[in-house]
Chains A and B, each alone.
Chain A
Amino acid sequence: MSNKPKVSGFMNYLRKERIPTIFCAGCGNGTVINTFFNAMEMAELSLDNISMVSGIGCSSRIPGYIKCDSLHTTHGRPIAFATGVKLGNPDMDVVVFTGDGDAAAIGGNHLIHAARRNLDLTVICVNNSIYGMTGGQISPTSPKGSFASTTPYGALEAPFDLAKLVSGAGATYVSRWTTVHPLPLSNAIKKGLQNKGFSFIEVISQCPTYFGRKNRMRSAVEMMKYMKTHSVVKKKAKKMSEEELEGKIILGDFVNRNWPEFSEMLCEQVNEKSEKGLIDAIKSAYKTDL
């Protein structure tokens, strides 16, 4: 498999009639979509069998532009809906697009519980450290001291380290990259799609419109330069002191382990208990003879 992105082919994956997107100029979501398609091809998966679930926020609009079955749900709850999609039809590849507000604030509980269950979902969390859709409010991943419309005098709260949180909760594949690292990011999404279990890919992304403007980085390019100069791969970070790591974005795989997956265990249990087995239940809503 080649790691070279096939940009021209990707257009066929989009609902072209919905273009242009609502995303601002310079938004990281375009890179996320691009890297996802690249990852999907590398993982040899097809949009025919992928269901996308998203919550509320800018990155949660991504599935609406992709030609696949997509469920744009309520704020913070996409992982709960995705749990139903996966258990309703365990043959499907279920991908969740979410943001930092969606996954870490209002939906934090669903995030850690799905990780604890090790349910086979691939969660792509686009973390831009701000509430973009509502106009630039502080988020649980905004750095201490950063400015937002609801922290006009600077944020006092410490941010969540999402990759660590989800690793601790029991996810079996956890990786963090930024939008200036498209190839390793594609590779991480690919690994996430291939992992049979709960996969969490945190994408540090830029929101020049709100985060940038309020924090003295007025262009996307400036923000991307910041991400490039402030990120350290995990291997290197291990050799650095806490002071040296202050304000740095640590990149790489945090967890990659082989633990029993929930839907598989559940299927086994159901097959053990019933004569028909779970396979019979798939798309059973369309049957009258059960």
Chain B
Amino acid sequence: MNITRFFIQGNEACARGAIKAGCKFFAGYPITPSTEVAEDAAIILPKEGGTFIQMEDEISALGAVIGAAWAGVKGMTATSGPGFSLMQEHIGYAAMTETPLVIVDVQRGSPSTAQPTMASQSDMMQARWGSHGDYEIIALVPSSVQECFDFTVEAFNLAEKYRVPVIVLSDEIIGHMREKINIPDKVEIIARKMPEEGPETFLPYKAEPDGVSPMPPFGAGYKIHVTGLTHDERGYPDASNPETHTKLVKRLCNKILNHRGELTRVKELYTEDADIIVVSYGAPSRSAITAVKNAREKGIKAGHIKLEIVWPFPEEIIRSAAQQASDIIVAEMNLGQMVYEVERVVKSDAEVSLLPKIGGQIHRPEEFLEMIYKCQK
């Protein structure tokens, strides 16, 4: 396997990762600070035999990606806060119809149009709960340019494996930062599953034991009906039937929740004996790691957990961390979002403190150290 080194932005790395993972369709709408994902895709995709289209808004961008998925190609879009808000209805539609796709959300200062050129992590809960209803998605958070590439590849594979929208929650810092990264010639690709059964007997929404059904493309003779309405195993609307609805929505949630184990992805540092554990994800992890190393040099038993898949939330990891450490510090570039998940899991097993930061800048290592000292007292 050949590896090529590049010195590129996080946003470009997302586009490169997508294309390596088999993405052949990109529909987007310009928005700062995510536009470079679309620009890079617009240059590279046609060279790889794929199509790029700039749509009239973010609603239609995600709609087109869903349409392309049913036509049989892997697709993605990229956006930021205001555009991500517009996409919410179609995220719910993709979850309900089990349409695999990838969305890169390069988070910026929010709410509303707020800070287009500054970073935040303020869409964390929106990624989880943004569309109406009970549903589950998968979300990954990169903290480096290499991870933008790697996690986008992973996002495509998870989308196919679980037939679910997968969100890469990047941010303005990671998206616009340039770093050296390694891009392999080939990456592992999970292909979409064709049904083994013929069209006469195949039930498109009768899931296999793992909760996921094979997905035939349009034009393959299966003549399937896809709807956002509550549907039975044939895919036909059955919207007033409480049993059909309960069975469907529970399956949609459980096909993710029952695979929490496989979907747990964190990186731990010095947690084996840590009294104080810093939990972070994305950009702030960079300064958190520096701070935790500094604390260790000073003899403080500090540790760090970097969340890489944030949804589904890695409950087991945080629960066992809380059983060992006396203090958990949650650092995020918002006024407190993932801290609610940490608190929910930790209960009274450890003291949970929030280190929030808004305004667009990343936490400085000193801010972490100050918090670590406070916890020591």
Contacts and interface: CB of A to CB of B under 8 A. Distances in A.
A88 B25 contact: yes
A64 B160 CA distance: 26
A47 interface: yes
Given A47-B223, A72-B228, A74-B90, A84 B218 contact: no
Given A74-B89, A89-B218, A80 B60 contact: yes
B71 A274 contact: no
A285 B72 contact: yes
A146 to B, nearest CB: 29
B70 A269 contact: no
Given A81-B67, A285-B191, A113 B73 contact: no
B50 to A, nearest CB: 6
Contacts of B22: 284-285, 287-288, 290
A18 B73 contact: no
Contacts of B68: 84-85, 87-88
Contacts of B190: 288
A94 to B, nearest CB: 9
A72 B229 contact: yes
Contacts of A266: 51, 53
A157 interface: no
B227 A88 contact: no
B225 A70 contact: yes
A80 B73 contact: no
Interface residues of B, number: 55
Given A84-B67, A270-B51, A290-B189, A281 B24 contact: yes
Interface stretch (B41-49, B117-125, B335-343, B350-358): B41-49
Contact of A283 (B47, B48, B61, B73): B73
A288 B69 CA distance: 16
Nearest to A289: B189
Nearest to A106: B59
Given A64-B227, A64-B237, A68-B223, A283 B66 contact: no
Contacts of A84: 25, 27, 63-71, 75
Given A269-B46, A288-B191, A88 B223 contact: no
Given A18-B236, A83-B53, A270-B50, A89 B27 contact: no
9 contacts: A48-B219, A51-B70, A72-B229, A83-B60, A88-B68, A88-B70, A89-B72, A113-B56, A270-B46
Interface of B: 22, 24-25, 27, 46-51, 53, 55-57, 59-61, 63-75, 89-90, 93, 100, 160, 189-192, 194, 217-229, 236-237
Given A48-B219, A64-B225, A281-B25, 12 more contacts: A51-B71, A69-B218, A73-B228, A80-B64, A83-B53, A83-B64, A88-B70, A109-B60, A283-B72, A283-B73, A285-B192, A288-B22
Interface of A: 15, 17-18, 47-49, 51, 53, 63-64, 67-74, 77, 79-89, 91-92, 109-110, 113, 266, 269-270, 273-288, 290
